[in-house]
Amino acid sequence: MGLRLPPPATAQGRLAVPLRQLVSAISERLSLDGRLTRAFIATFFRDVTRYLGGPDDAARTAAREEVAGVISSTGAHVVIAHSLGSVVAYEALHAHPELDVDLFLTLGSPLALRHGVFDRLSPAPFTGTGERPPGVRRWVNLSDHGDIVAVPRPLKQRFPTPPDPRVGDHAPCRARFRTAAP
């Protein structure tokens, strides 16, 4: 038996770019007051629909409290959240401004998705833009080019958090994820 090398890495998401652009166009311009976006999410992302049932829904509150409790009990200074987890973590950090987080890293976040997520956040965004949670010093967002949930890109279109001179700019990163088959 000789040493097996992994196959070369392949770029992910390129084939999904047109689909992401279509979802972005629907959510931004063609959503019919949000009906198409909500129908898309209800059909393909039932967990998101369930979580966003209502701002004071018991399950939603319990999820936020669980996340805040783990951050508090572990003394975590870095919070990494993916997809719907970024929505739960965002709301948990807002609900608990006493939590001190150096870095909030969101991956494939649907936070900026108008009509589906953004407009249903708690606390509700004022004047069409969201805010960095108060205890968060730096927020970085990474998403794949073809991620159909992380629209619009970049996230800063909806969350134009002003730069904090002590820690640098909040400009979300743009990344390409590469994987190799096992």
Alpha-carbon span 40 to 157, nearest angstrom = 21
Residue pair 97/133 in contact by the 8 Å Cβ criterion: yes
Helix, strand counts (H, E) of the chain: 5, 5
Q: Is the pLDDT of residue 7 over 70?
A: no
User: What's the pLDDT at 104?
Assistant: 94
Residue pair 142/176 in contact by the 8 Å Cβ criterion: no
- 3 state DSSP class of 31: coil
On whether residue 51 sits in a domain, the answer given is yes
On whether residue 4 sits in a domain, the answer given is no
**pLDDT, tens digit, 9 for 90 and up, residues 100-156:** 999 999 988 888 887 778 888 999 887 778 888 999 999 988 877 666 666 656 677
On whether residue 2 sits in a domain, the answer given is no
Tell me the DSSP string of 117-171: TGGG-SSPPBTTB----TTEEEEEEE--TT-SSS-SSSGGGT--PPPBTTTB--P
Alpha-carbon span 100 to 162, nearest angstrom = 18
On whether residue 29 sits in a domain, the answer given is yes
On whether residue 1 sits in a domain, the answer given is no
Alpha-carbon span 169 to 99, nearest angstrom = 21
On whether residue 138 sits in a domain, the answer given is yes
Domain containing 33: what range? 10-179
On whether residue 54 sits in a domain, the answer given is yes
Chain position carrying tokens 């900026």: 112
On whether residue 5 sits in a domain, the answer given is no
Whether pTM > 0.75 for this model: the answer is no
Structural domains of the chain, count:
1
Q: How many CB atoms lie within 10 A of CB 53?
A: 12
Per-residue pLDDT averaged across 173-182, rounded?
A: 42
